[in-house]
Amino acid sequence: MEIHIVTDAVERAGVVADVFVRTLQESVGSGTVLGLATGSSPVPAYTELIRRHREEGLSFAGVRAFLLDEYVGLPPGHEQSYHRFIRENFTSHVDIDDSAVLSPDGSAADPAAEAAAYDRRITEAGGVDLQILGIGSNGHIAFNEPGSSLASRTRVVGLTRRTIADNARFFENSEDVPVRALSQGLGTIREARRIVLTATGEGKAEAVAQLAEGAISARWPATSLQLHPDVTVVVDEAAASRLELADYYRYARGLEHSGPVAPHS
């Protein structure tokens, strides 16, 4: 797990965008499959990718994308649906074919069957090359709340009271806040070939510390990423404030940019 502690939003967005670009370059000719997250954490990276598309010619032609999750009960066109969010904040501003941007159908008559079918679609696409993630203050990734099986697949999940309360600000009435979601499982997410997770703010500090340095546990779902061989974590100083090994992460990143070390004579 590579830990990047950055100084500001511009640097954070740049580091995450660089991982996207590297993945796109490595997949030329085979068609990249991206896993896209919603919420505030990845938006600066999406903004930077849009800038690179417009100003530097970065192309997403031939790319397919799968969203992490969707609220049960919200149709794709709902103003708070993640289907709509990702288009407004990213994919409609670059050259990804809209039909290639897939998400679970929150309005499906049988949500459990929809979840299973969505999981199969990811597998049939050859799996995800790069999955971007945020992290909740309770350590959830996607909507895998504490207590989720570390081997879980895409499924219907009940949201915790804390998550429901956090989401209430996006809805006019408290009774409109969804209490269930369709979510990729922890096992599904870890099948991505590369993962980049980004977080900001002191409110995420404990979750980030558990993610990087805590014991692997369903109590902190994000700790399951310790089992993955290619994870990049990009956090600001506030989100890194509880990392006991923060000085080492900074030192290790410095070594990577300093060139080879001469052997002792």
Residue 182 near residue 72, CB atoms below 8 Å? yes
Alpha-carbon gap, residue 35 to 33, rounded angstroms: 7
Q: Which residue has the tokens 């570390």?
A: 150
pLDDT digits (tens, 9 = 90+) for 158-202: 988 888 888 888 888 878 888 899 999 999 999 999 999 999 999
Residue 6 lies in a domain: yes
Q: Which of 69, 105, 114, 236 is catalytic?
A: 69
What CATH number does residue 88 fall under?
3.40.50.1360
Tokens, residue 167: 């989401």
* 236 assigned to some structural domain: no
* Predicted local distance difference test score (pLDDT) of residue 39: 87
- Annotation marks residue 145 as catalytic: yes
Question: Would residue 20 count as lying in a domain?
Answer: yes
Residue 235 maps to a domain? no
Query: Residue 87 falls within a domain, yes or no?
Result: yes
Non-local CB neighbours of 13 within 8 Å, separated by 6+ positions: 44, 45, 47, 48
How many structural domains compose the chain? 1
- Assigned domain for 117 exists: yes
The model's pLDDT over 211-261, given as tens digits with 9 standing for 90+, comes to: 999 999 999 999 999 999 999 999 999 999 999 999 999 998 887 766 555
173 in active site: no
Domain for residue 263, yes or no? no
Q: Does 53 participate in catalysis according to the annotation?
A: no
Domain extent, residue 24, equals 2-127+135-190+200-222
| Annotated active-site residue in 4, 78, 83, 140 | 140
Rounded to two decimals, what is the model's pTM? 0.92
Q: One of 48, 89, 129, 138 is an active-site residue; which one? A: 138
Edge-first strand listing for the sheet containing 155-158 = 69-71, 180-183, 155-158
Q: Is 69 a catalytic residue?
A: yes
Q: Would 241 be classed as within a structural domain?
A: no
Identify the pLDDT of residue 28.
65
Q: Choosing from 48, 119, 145, 236, which is the catalytic residue?
A: 145
